Structure 1
Amino acid sequence: MIREKSRIYGGRLIAMITLVDTFSSCWFGYCQGVFAGVLVSDNFKAKFPQTLDANISGITSSCFFLGAFVGSTMAFISGDKLGRKKTIAWGLLFNLIGATLQFSSWHLPQMIIGRLINGFGIGLTSTMTPVFLSESAKSHQRGKLVGIGASSNVTMFALANWISYALYSEGGPFQWRFPLSFQVIFFFIIAPLLFFVPESPRWLLLMGKEQDALEVLARLAGKNVPMDDLIVTAEFRSIKAAIELEREDRTPLMDVLCFRDKTHNFRRLILSCGTQFMQQFSGINALGFYLPTLLTQTVGFNQEMSRLISAVSSTVYLVSAFGSLIFIDRFGRRKMMLYAAITMGFCHIIASLALRESEVDVSKRKLMGNVATAMFIVYHVFFGTGFASVPWVYSAEVNSLGWRTRGAAAATATNWLFGFVVTQFTKVGVDRLGWAFYLIFGVICFTYFPIVFCFYPETSNRTLEDMDHMFIQNPSIFVFGKADMTQRRRPKNFIDAEVARIAMV
C-alpha cells in the first residue's frame, strides 16, 4: 500500500481525496475529447491513411473503450483485494504507458495498443476513485464532491476541444502529437497526491483492520478529534454493524442473482449499471468523438468552423456540468435524471427533423443546419446538468459495502462497453442513416423517463449504510408512490434504524 507521507486532517484531507478523484476524472475526460481533433488532423490522416475507412476510424477511437471495459472488469475482480489506493496506483501506471505509446506512434498498431492500455488504466481509476471518495465523504457532501470529479471530466473534455481548435493551423505532426502527449501531465499530479491520503475507512473495516479504520475516521473528522470521540465512535459502530449484518445475510451467488438476498445486491448493481447505460445511449459520445466530423459531413461547415463549434459546445457542456453541483443534492438524483430524459430527447428529435428538412429543401440547408447545431449545443446543457454527474454519483452510492466495488466496477464497465458500441457505429450510422440516426437517440432518451420513475430510488441525503435498510424495507422493484424510496430528505425511520445499529455494537 502507498503510505501517506504527512498527516492531513478534516476538510483538508477530504479535499485531498477529492483532488485524487478530480484529476483522475480530468484524465478520463481529456481522453474522451482529445481524439476527435486527432482524427481530423491532416498529418494524422496522412500518417495513418487506414483511418479514412469509417470502420477503421471507429475501431481506432473505440478501442480505448474496450481497454477501459477490461480495466473495469479487473477492478470488479480484484478491487476489494487490492484496496482503493493500490488499484488507483496501478491504473495510473497503465495510463502513463498507454499515453506514451500513443503520442510516440509511428504505426497504427502501436496507436491502437497504446489506446487499449490507456483505456485499461482509465477503467481502473474511473471505477475506484469515485468509490474511494464516496466512502470517505459525509452524506451531505458526497453528491457535490463526487459531482466535482464528474464535472472536471467535462473540463478536460472542453480543454481538449480548444487545443484542437488552437492547433488547426498547425500542419505538421505537432497538431496531433502534442494533444496526445499533454495528458501525461496528469500522472505527475495524481501520483504524489496518493502519498498524502489514507485508505478508505470502510474498506479497512471490510478487511478487519478496525484500529486503522477508527484512526482514519478520526482524521476525517478533524485535526484535534480523538479516536474515542462520540461522533467518530458512533460512525465506526454504524459501519461495523452494517458490515456484520451484511455478512450474516450472505447468501449463495445464485440466490443473489435471483433477488433472494434481503439487501437485493444484484438489483442494486443493475440500477447502477442502468444509469451508465442511459448515459451512453443518450448520444453523448456520438457527439464527443465525432462532432467535428458530423458538422463537416452532415451540416456542411468547413473544418475550422466545425472545430470552433465543437470547442464552444464543450465549453457550454463544462458550465452546465458544474452547474449541476448546485442542484444535485438540492433536487436529488431522480429529478435530475427525469428532467434530463425529456429535454435531451427533444433536442435529438428537433435536430433530426431539421437535418431532414435540409435534405428535402436544399435552399433551407444553411438555416436548418444552424438549427441542428443549436440543438446539439443545447443538448449538452441538459446532459451536463442531468446525466454528466448523476450516474457516477449514483453507482458509488446505491450498492452495499460488500458489493460497492463490484457494483461500481460493473457500472463503469457498462459505461465503457456501450461507449465502445456507440463510438464504433456512429460514423457508420451517420453515413447510412443520415438525419434518422439522431432520431434513434431521441426515442431512446424518452424511454428513460418511465424507467427512472418506476424503478430508481432516491439516494441523496442517505448514509451509505442507509441503503441496505432501504432495500430491506422495500423489496418490490417498483419505487413510485413510496415516500421512503423517492423523497429527497432522509426519512425518519432511516435515522431510527441507524440508532438501532449503533446500539447493537
Structure 2
Amino acid sequence: MNAPTNVYASDRFLVGKALLYFTSIFVSLGVFIFGFDQGLMSGLITNHYFQAYFHNPSAAEIGTMVAILEIGALLSSLLVGWIGDHIGRKRTIRYGAFIFIIGGAFQTGSRNIIELSAGRFISGLGIGLLSAIVPVYQSEISPPDNRGQLACMEFTGNIIGYSSSIWLDYICSYMESHKSWRVPLGVQVVMGSILFLGSFALVETPRWLLDNDHDTEGIMVIADLYSSGDIHHPKAQTEFTAIKESVLISRLEGERSYAFMFKRYKKRVVIAMASQMFAQLNGINIISYYAPLVFEQAGWVGRDAILMTGLNSIIYVLSTLPPWYLVDAWGRRKLLLYGAIAMGIPLLSIAYVLYLNIPLTPLLVVILVVIYNAAFGCSWGPLPWLYPPEILPLSIRSKGTSLSTASNWIFNWLVGEMTPILQESIRWKMYLIPAASCFLSLGVVYVMFPETKGLQLEDMDSAFDDSSSIFSFHSSHHSARDTPNDATLTSGRPGAPRMESNSQLGENSRGITSLRDVVTPDGGPQVQPPTLDEILAYKAKQKQGGTSIRSFLSGSHRQKGTGESESLLG
C-alpha cells in the first residue's frame, strides 16, 4: 500500500459526490415509475373515452383493475429478498424495468378490461421489484451524514412521477379520441426503457460486492463513491474495512433464513413492516388513486376534477422538499410523530365537511386534501422507504426490505380495492377509517420506533437491544483493548454481541470459523483492502475479457470459485 496514489486512476467519468448524486437521482427513476403508475389511472377512470371503450366499468371493476397492480407488486416484492441477494441490486433494477416495459406495452394495446388488468398485473411485477430494491440500493451507497436526504430525494422523484401522470392525463383529456388514454399508458414503455438502458451504467453497491467476496471491485466502487477514485484515501480504506468486517462477523451466525431473521431481529422487521402498513392505512392512496373521484364527490366535475388533482399534486411535490433537510437535522422519529397528527386532523375535517354538504364543501375539500397531502409528503411519504433498509443488517437487509415492501403492497391493494366501494356505500364516513389509523400510528411510533439519524449502517445495532452480530472495530467507542475474544462473544457478556460456537458454524461461514479470522492478536482488524497490484491485474483482466449485454443479463460473466467478477462494474 506504499504505491503512489496517482498510479491508479478510475475509469469513470463521474466520481465522488458527482457519482453519488447522479446515481441516486437516476435510480430514483425506479420510484418515479412507481409514482407515475399510482397517479396514471386516477385521471383515466374519469375520461369519457376510456369509460365508453371499456363499457362504463362498475366501481368493483375499477377497484379490481386499479388494485391488481398491487397483487403483482406484492408477489414480486416477496421474491426480492432472494433475487437481490443472488444477482445483486443493480441487475434486480434492470429486470424490474424490463418487466415494467412488457406490462406497459400490454396496457397500451389492451382491447378490453381483462387485457388492461393483465397488463397492470405484469407492470406490478416490475414495480414490486423496483420499489423493494431501489431503497436498498440507495441506503447501501449513501454515507450516514446524508443518507436520509438522499432517500427523501428519492421519494420526491416518486411524487414527481405521480404529478407528471396527473398532468399528462389532463393534457391528453383534450384529445378527442382514444389517444387520450392510450398515449398516457404508452409513456410507461418509454420511461421503463430509459431505466433499463441506464442500468448498465450503474455501479453495484459496495456492500453487496463485499458480501459476495468481490473485494477488488468493492474497493474500486468505494473509492469512486467516497474518495474521488483514490483507493488509498483513508476514507476509502476505512469504509472497506468497516463493511468487510461486518460481513465476516455476520457469517459467524451461519444462517440467513426468514426464521432466523424473525428470531434475531424481530423488532427491526416489525418496525419495517409497520411503517409501510401505516403509510397505506393512513389514507394516501385514497387520494393518489382516486383523487378525481374524491373531488367529483365534493362537487368538481369531469376535467375540473383532474385539474384540481393536478394542482394538488404540485403542492404535494413541494411538500417533499423540506424533509431533504429536516430528516437529518430533526431526525426520523419526530417527523413521523408530527406527520401523523398533521394528517389525522384534515382527514377528520374532510369527513365533517362532506357530512355538512354546504356550498363551500367543494373548496374546503380541496384545501383539506392539499393540507393532508403536504403533511404526508413531509413525513409518512419518504420515511417508511428509508427506515427498513436503514435499520436492517446486511445479512437480512434484502429479505427484510422485501417483507416491508410486501406489507406496503398488500395494504396498498386493500385501499385500492375498497376505496371506490366505500365511497359509494358509506361516503363521508370512509375518511374516519384512515383518520383513526393516523392516530394509532402516532402511538406505535412513540412506543416502538428508535431514532437512527447519523448512524452508520454497520453501527445500527446501537439503536436496538436485539444482540446484533455486528461488532464494529472502526467505531470511535471501541478500542483494541475493548475487543472481545471468542470466549466473551459466546459467553453472553452484557453488551457483547452473541455468537454461535465454532462447532455450530459449519459451511455457512464461508471460511470464517472464529473471531480470530477477523481480528489480529492485538485486537485490530485482520481485514485489509486489495493491494494496488491486485486492482491493476483485475482491471487488465477486465479490459482483456470485455463484456456484453447478454452476459450482463445472464450473469455468465462471473468467474466461479475466484470470488471476483470480470465485469460487474458495468
Q: Which residue of 2 aligns with 1:202?
A: 207
CA distance in 2, matches of 1:268, 1:446: 22
CA distance in 1, matches of 2:219, 2:229: 14
CA distance in 2, matches of 1:236, 1:462: 17
Distance change in 2, residues 1:224/1:236 (3 Å) = closer
Distance change in 2, residues 1:323/1:258 (3 Å) = closer
Conserved? CA contact 2:282–2:438, under 8 Å: yes
Q: Which residue of 1 aligns with 2:364?
A: 371
CA distance in 2, matches of 1:245, 1:57: 51
Asked if 1:216 corresponds to 2:221, the answer is yes
Amino acid of the structure 1 residue aligned with 2:28: T
Amino acid of the structure 2 residue aligned with 1:11: K
Q: Which residue of 2 aligns with 1:391?
A: 384
CA distance in 2, matches of 1:369, 1:55: 25
Asked if 1:320 corresponds to 2:324, the answer is no
Conserved? CA contact 1:91–1:121, under 8 Å: yes
Q: What is the identity percentage for the equivalent residue pairs of Structure 1 and Structure 2?
A: 27
Name the one with the larger helix percent. 1
Rg comparison, structure with higher value: 2
Asked if 1:33 corresponds to 2:14, the answer is no
Q: Which residue of 1 aligns with 2:21?
A: 15
Cα shift readout 1:278-327 (whole Å, capped 9, x = no counterpart): 1101111111111111221x212211221111111111111001232121
Give 1:473 deviation, angstroms: 7.1
Give the alignment's TM-score, normalised by structure 1: 0.89
Conserved? CA contact 2:280–2:415, under 8 Å: yes
Q: Which residue of 2 aligns with 1:241?
A: 245
Conserved? CA contact 2:276–2:384, under 8 Å: yes
Shifted more, 95-104 versus 231-240: the winner is: 231-240
Distance change in 2, residues 1:161/1:236 (3 Å) = same
CA distance in 2, matches of 1:422, 1:401: 32
Conserved? CA contact 1:20–1:129, under 8 Å: no
Give 1:231 deviation, angstroms: 2.1
CA distance in 1, matches of 2:114, 2:32: 26
Amino acid of the structure 2 residue aligned with 1:391: P
Conserved? CA contact 2:81–2:399, under 8 Å: yes
* Secondary structure class of the residue paired with 1:391: helix
Conserved? CA contact 2:461–2:467, under 8 Å: no
Give 1:119 deviation, angstroms: 0.8
Cα shift readout 1:331-369 (whole Å, capped 9, x = no counterpart): 1110110001011000100111111112xxxxx2x2133
Give 1:412 deviation, angstroms: 1.2
Conserved? CA contact 2:211–2:247, under 8 Å: yes
The root-mean-square deviation of aligned C-alpha atoms, in Å, is 2.2
Q: Which residue of 2 aligns with 1:177?
A: 182
Give 1:6 deviation, angstroms: 4.6
Give 1:268 deviation, angstroms: 1.1
Q: Which residue of 2 aligns with 1:495?
A: 476
Conserved? CA contact 1:347–1:379, under 8 Å: yes
Q: Find the partner of 2:59 among 54, 71, 79.
A: 54
Q: Which residue of 2 aligns with 1:351?
A: 350
CA distance in 1, matches of 2:478, 2:175: 63
Q: Which residue of 2 aligns with 1:115?
A: 120
Cα shift readout 1:160-184 (whole Å, capped 9, x = no counterpart): 1112222333231111111111122
Give 1:252 deviation, angstroms: 8.1
Where does structure 1 lack aligned partners over 5 or more consecutive residues?
359-363, 476-492
Amino acid of the structure 1 residue aligned with 2:390: E
* Secondary structure class of the residue paired with 1:454: helix
Conserved? CA contact 1:352–1:372, under 8 Å: no
Give 1:7 deviation, angstroms: 5.0
Amino acid of the structure 2 residue aligned with 1:131: V
Cα shift readout 1:91-145 (whole Å, capped 9, x = no counterpart): 0110100001111111222111110111100111111122112111111121111
Give 1:380 deviation, angstroms: 0.6
Q: Which residue of 2 aligns with 1:480?
A: none
Give the alignment's TM-score, normalised by structure 2: 0.79
* Secondary structure class of the residue paired with 2:204: coil
CA distance in 1, matches of 2:172, 2:258: 54
Shifted more, 399-408 versus 206-215: the winner is: 206-215
Where does structure 2 lack aligned partners over 5 or more consecutive residues?
1-9, 469-473, 484-518, 527-570
Shifted more, 108-117 versus 420-429: the winner is: 108-117
Give 1:395 deviation, angstroms: 1.4
* Secondary structure class of the residue paired with 2:457: coil
Amino acid of the structure 1 residue aligned with 2:450: P
Q: Which residue of 2 aligns with 1:134?
A: 139
Q: Which residue of 2 aligns with 1:76?
A: 81
Q: Which residue of 2 aligns with 1:484?
A: none
* Secondary structure class of the residue paired with 2:464: helix
Asked if 1:277 corresponds to 2:277, the answer is yes
Q: Which residue of 1 aligns with 2:50?
A: 44
Amino acid of the structure 1 residue aligned with 2:387: Y
CA distance in 2, matches of 1:258, 1:282: 26
Cα shift readout 1:212-249 (whole Å, capped 9, x = no counterpart): 212211121233512x3322222111112212222223
Give 1:74 deviation, angstroms: 1.6
Number of residue-to-residue matches in the alignment: 472
Distance change in 2, residues 1:252/1:29 (3 Å) = closer
Conserved? CA contact 1:469–1:497, under 8 Å: no
Q: Which residue of 1 aligns with 2:333?
A: 334
Q: Which residue of 2 aligns with 1:489?
A: none
Give 1:47 deviation, angstroms: 1.2
Amino acid of the structure 2 residue aligned with 1:179: P
Give 1:413 deviation, angstroms: 1.3
Q: Which residue of 2 aligns with 1:189?
A: 194
